[in-house]
Chains A and B, each alone.
Chain A
Amino acid sequence: MSRLNNLSNRIVPPSQLRENWTATISDHVIDLAWSPDGKYIAAASVLGPVTIFEGHRQAVIHAFEGHEFGTMSIAWHPDSKVLASAGQDGKIRLWDMTSGKATHSLDGGAAWVEHLAWSGGKNPILASAAGRKLKLWNDVGDLVREFSDHQSTISDIQWKPHARQLASIAYSGVTLWDPQQSEAVRRLEWQGSSLVIAWSPDGKHIATGDQDSTVHFWIMSTGEDLQMSGYPTKVLELSWDATSRYLATGGGQEVTVWDCSGRGPAGTKPITLSGHQDFLSVVRFQHHGKLLASGCAEGLVYVWQLRGRISSRVVHEAALKAGVTSLVWSPNDQFIAVGDESGGVSVFSIS
Chain B
Amino acid sequence: MNTAILNNQVPVTVLTGFLGSGKTTLLNRILTENHGKRIAVIENEFGEIGVDNDLVIGAEEEIFEMNNGCICCTVRGDLIRILGNLMKRRDKFDYIMVETTGLADPGPVAQTFFMDTEMQEKLQLDSVTTVVDAKHIWQHIDDSDEAREQIAFADVILLNKIDLVTEGELEQLEARIRSMNGAAKIYRTKNAVLEMDKILNVGGFDLDRAMEIDPQFMEPEYPFEWAGIYNLSAGTHQLVLQEGPDPMMKVALVPVNESTDEALKDAVEPVVMVFSDDEHELSAGGTLQPSGQLIALNLTADELRFDVQIDHPSAYALFTEHHPDEFQAQLFGNSTLVKPVVEREFKPDHEHDDEVTSVGITTPGDLDADRLNDWIGNLLRTKGIDIFRMKGILSIKGEPNRFVFQGVHMLFDGRPDRPWGSEPRYNSLIFIGRNLDRAELTEEFEACLA
* B69-123 contacts to A (CB < 8 Å): 75, 77-78, 80-81, 85, 88-90, 116-118
Distance (whole angstroms) from the CB of B61 to the closest CB of chain A: 10
Q: Quick one: which of B338-388 are within 8 Å of A by CB?
A: none
CB-based contact A27/B67 at 8 Å: no
With a cutoff of 8 Å between Cβ atoms, the chain B residues found around residue A145 in the complex are none
Chain A min CB distance to B112 (Å): 10
Q: Is the CB of B78 within 8 A of A153?
A: yes
A-side interface size class: 20 to 34
Q: Is B88 in contact with A28, judged by CB distance below 8 angstroms?
A: yes
Residue of B nearest to A47 (CB): B89
Q: Which residues of B contact A111 (CB under 8 A)?
A: 57-58
Q: For A30, give the chain B residue with the smallest CB separation.
A: B88
B373 to chain A, nearest CB (A): 23
B80's nearest neighbour on chain A, judged by CB, is A211
Q: Is the C-beta of B164 less than 8 angstroms from some C-beta in chain A?
A: no
Check B85 against A46 for contact (C-beta < 8 Å): yes
Contact of A192 among B57, B60, B67, B80 (CB under 8 A): B67
A214 interfacial by beta-carbon distance below 8 Å: yes
Q: Given A152-B77, A153-B81, A212–B89 Cβ distance below 8 Å? A: no
Checking A212, A214, A233, A341 against B88 with a beta-carbon cut-off of 8 angstroms, the contacting residue is: A341
The reply to whether A191 and B67 contact each other, CB–CB distance below 8 Å, is yes
Determine which of A233, A279, A342 lies in contact with B90 in the assembled complex, contact meaning CB atoms within 8 Å. Answer: A342
Question: Which residues does chain A contribute within 8 Å of B85, judged by CB atoms?
Answer: 46, 70, 72, 88
- Chain A residues with CB under 8 Å of B116's CB are 211, 234
- Asked if B67 contacts A131 (CB within 8 A), the reply is no
Check B64 for interface membership: any CB of A closer than 8 A.
yes
A171 lies within 8 A of chain B by Cβ: yes
Given A152-B62, A153-B62, A191-B67, are A211 and B117 neighbors across the interface (CB < 8 Å)? no
Q: Which of B19-71 contact A (CB under 8 A)?
A: 55, 57-58, 60, 62, 64-68
Are B66's CB and A211's CB within 8 A?
A: yes
| Contact (Cβ within 8 A) A171 B77 | yes
In the assembled complex, the CB of B328 is this many whole angstroms from the nearest CB of chain A, namely 57
A168 interface residue (CB < 8 Å to B): no
By a beta-carbon cutoff of 8 Å, the part of chain A in contact with chain B is: 27-28, 30, 46-47, 69-70, 72, 88, 111, 114, 131, 152-153, 155, 171, 191-193, 211-212, 214, 232-234, 279, 325, 341-343
Q: List 18 A-B contacts (CB under 8 A).
A: A28-B90, A47-B89, A69-B55, A70-B85, A70-B89, A111-B57, A153-B77, A153-B81, A171-B77, A191-B65, A192-B65, A192-B66, A211-B66, A211-B77, A232-B117, A234-B117, A325-B88, A342-B90
